[in-house]
Amino acid sequence: MKFINKYTLMLVIGCDKSPLRSTAMIFAFYIFFSIIQSSVERLIFGEMFENWLEPIFTLIFMVWAACAAYVCGVIRVEEAK
């Protein structure tokens, strides 16, 4: 869990503490993750298929984006003090 928090903090700082930029970056991560997942499925099974893990992966990336937006807000409030 510490790794995820540290990575999210580095992502937020790298995106200039902008919730829009950090959400867009996580969306790009999700797109690349989906491309890699479908490529592996094609290489191993010969076809791409729908599975029950895809909604879970989507939910994980959505929660991560919300967490990054929250961290952006916390950092901005702390800097404003």
Count of beta carbons in the 10 Å neighbourhood of residue 41: 14
Please give the average per-residue pLDDT across 53-57, as a whole number.
Answer: 88
Q: Is the pLDDT of residue 52 over 90?
A: no
Question: What are the tens digits of pLDDT across the range 15-41?
Answer: 999 999 999 999 999 999 999 988 888
Q: At what angle do helices 2-14 and 19-45 cross, to 10 degrees?
A: 120
Please give the average per-residue pLDDT across 10-17, as a whole number.
Answer: 92
Please name the residue that has the structure tokens 């909604």.
Answer: 55
The confidence score (pLDDT) of residue 46 equals: 82
Rounded Cα gap, residues 52 and 11, in angstroms: 29
The confidence score (pLDDT) of residue 24 equals: 95
Q: Is the pLDDT of residue 49 over 90?
A: no
pTM: 0.83
